């Protein structure tokens, strides 16, 4: 106990540094995450395919223009049929970014190594004033 009292400042610095290291992973901005601007660049420069992993009702309410809808529960069975070339960059999108992170893991397991998640999901896309269409 004496150690903690004498070194409280070092312990506080260590805890805050650890928190800062974990923040990107907890907030959806970890490895494989992409900003809305970065997604636009990837779509324009490398012809990335946008896969929306929302359910059909969410997709109909608003989605990235030109995106393809494959709900997360069906992704493993349908992705290879929708995107034939595994070298094609994929941008996984959902409402907030949580499901799209799981979708990236599934896509990489299927051999799509250039799969990325749109950090913040469709909410971040809208916040960047990028076009959304409804069906």
> Is residue 15 very low, low, confident or very high in pLDDT (cuts 50, 70, 90)?
confident
Count CB atoms within 10 A of the CB of residue 131: 9
Same domain, yes or no: 69 and 97: yes
Measured between alpha carbons, how far is 121 from 35 in angstroms, rounded to an integer?
A: 9
Query: What pLDDT sits at residue 55?
Result: 94
Same domain, yes or no: 36 and 80: yes
Query: What pLDDT sits at residue 33?
Result: 77
Task: List the domain range (segments joined by +) for residue 90.
Answer: 31-133
Same domain, yes or no: 22 and 71: no
Same domain, yes or no: 37 and 65: yes
Residue whose C-alpha is closest to residue 54's, from 125, 121, 109: 121
* Predicted structure pTM score: 0.76
Whichever domain contains 96, its CATH number is 3.40.250.10
Is the pLDDT at 72 greater than 70? The verdict is: yes
Q: Which residues pair with 51 in a beta bridge?
A: 68, 92
Measured between alpha carbons, how far is 34 from 65 in angstroms, rounded to an integer?
A: 17
Same domain, yes or no: 15 and 49: no
């Amino acid at each position: 106990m004496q150690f903690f009292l004498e070194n409280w400042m070092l312990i506080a610095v260590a805890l805050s540094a650890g928190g800062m290291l974990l923040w990107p992973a907890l907030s959806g901005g970890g490895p494989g995450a992409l900003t809305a601007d970065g997604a636009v660049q990837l779509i324009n420069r490398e012809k990335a395919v946008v896969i929306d992993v929302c359910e059909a009702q969410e997709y109909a309410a608003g989605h990235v223009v030109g995106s393809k809808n494959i709900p997360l529960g069906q992704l493993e069975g349908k992705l290879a049929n929708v995107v034939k070339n595994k070298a094609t960059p994929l941008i996984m999108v959902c409402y907030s970014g949580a499901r799209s992170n799981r979708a990236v893991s599934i896509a990489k397991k299927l051999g799509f190594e250039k799969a990325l998640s749109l950090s913040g999901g469709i909410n971040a896309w809208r916040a960047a004033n990028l076009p959304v269409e409804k069906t």
